[in-house]
Structure 1
Amino acid sequence: MNTTTAHPVKHLKKWLLSPSPASRRQARLGRAYLGWITFTRNRLALIGLGIILTLILVAALAPVLTPWPPNTPDLGSRLQPVSPAHWFGTDELGRDIFSRVVHGSRLTLCVVVLVAIIAAPVGLLIGTVSGYAGKMTDTVLMRITDIFLAFPKLILALAFVSALGPGIENAIIAIAITSWPPYARIARAETLTIRNADFISAARLQGAGPVRIVWGHIMPLCTSSLVVRVTLDMAGIILTAAGLGFLGLGAQPPLPEWGAMISSGRKFLLDQWWVATMPGIAIFVVSLGFNLLGDGLRDVLDPKSDGGK
Structure 2
Amino acid sequence: MSDTTTARTGWHDWLITNEPASRRQARLGQTYRQWLAFRRNPAAMIGLAIVLLLLLVAAFAPLIAPHDPIAQALDQRLLPPSATYWFGTDSLGRDIFSRVVYGTRVTLVIVLLVVVTVGPIGLLIGCAAGYLGGWVDVVLMRITDVFLAFPRLVLALAFVAALGPGLENAVIAIAFTAWPPYARVARAETLVIRNADYIAAVRLQGASQWRIVWKHVVPMCMPSLIVRSTLDMAGIILTAAGLGFLGLGAQPPIPEWGAMISAGREQIFDQWWVATFPGIAICVVALGFNLLGDGLRDVMDAR
TM-score (norm 1): 0.97
Partner of 2:169: 170
Structure 1 segments of 4+ aligned residues over 6 angstroms from their partners = 3-6
Counterpart Cα distance in 2 of 1:239 and 1:119: 17
Partner of 1:246: 245
Query: Percent identity at matched positions?
Result: 66
SS in 1 for 2:286: helix
Counterpart Cα distance in 1 of 2:3 and 2:132: 53
Partner of 2:118: 119
Partner of 1:307: none
Counterpart Cα distance in 1 of 2:227 and 2:170: 23
Partner of 1:207: 206
CA shift, 1:218, in A, is 0.2
Partner of 1:72: 71
CA shift, 1:6, in A, is 6.3
Partner of 2:22: 23
- Say whether the 8 Å CA contact 1:187–1:226 is kept in structure 2: yes
Deviations, residues 59-84 of structure 1 (Å, cap 9, x unaligned): 00000111110011100100000000
CA shift, 1:161, in A, is 0.5
Partner of 2:282: 283
TM-score (norm 2): 0.99
Counterpart Cα distance in 2 of 1:25 and 1:66: 43
CA RMSD of aligned residues (A): 1.1
Partner of 1:259: 258
Partner of 2:32: 33
Amino acid at match of 1:164: L
Amino acid at match of 2:136: T
- Say whether the 8 Å CA contact 1:4–1:11 is kept in structure 2: no
Deviations, residues 201-258 of structure 1 (Å, cap 9, x unaligned): 1001111101110000000000101111110111100000000000000000000000
SS in 1 for 2:165: coil
Partner of 1:198: 197
Deviations, residues 35-62 of structure 1 (Å, cap 9, x unaligned): 0010011001000000000000000000
CA shift, 1:5, in A, is 7.4
Deviations, residues 122-143 of structure 1 (Å, cap 9, x unaligned): 0000000001111001000000
- Say whether the 8 Å CA contact 1:128–1:214 is kept in structure 2: yes
Amino acid at match of 1:30: G
Counterpart Cα distance in 2 of 1:135 and 1:77: 66
**Alignment map for 1:107-146 (pairs within 5 Å):** 107-146=106-145
CA shift, 1:196, in A, is 1.6
Amino acid at match of 1:151: F
Amino acid at match of 1:144: I
Counterpart Cα distance in 2 of 1:259 and 1:148: 24
Counterpart Cα distance in 1 of 2:162 and 2:5: 66
Deviations, residues 166-220 of structure 1 (Å, cap 9, x unaligned): 0000000100110000000000000001112110010011111011100000000
CA shift, 1:88, in A, is 0.3
Counterpart Cα distance in 2 of 1:14 and 1:278: 47
Counterpart Cα distance in 1 of 2:62 and 2:222: 36
Counterpart Cα distance in 2 of 1:278 and 1:116: 26
Partner of 2:42: 43
Counterpart Cα distance in 2 of 1:176 and 1:121: 11
Amino acid at match of 1:112: V
Amino acid at match of 1:197: A
Partner of 2:95: 96
Verify: 1:221 aligned to 2:220, yes or no.
yes
Counterpart Cα distance in 2 of 1:265 and 1:18: 57
Counterpart Cα distance in 2 of 1:67 and 1:16: 45
SS in 2 for 1:73: coil
Aligned residues: 303
Verify: 1:155 aligned to 2:186, yes or no.
no
Distance 1:6 1:289, change over 3 A: closer
Verify: 1:292 aligned to 2:291, yes or no.
yes
Partner of 1:56: 55
Counterpart Cα distance in 2 of 1:247 and 1:279: 15
Distance 1:195 1:249, change over 3 A: same
Amino acid at match of 1:254: P
Amino acid at match of 1:215: W
SS in 2 for 1:7: helix
- Say whether the 8 Å CA contact 1:247–1:263 is kept in structure 2: yes
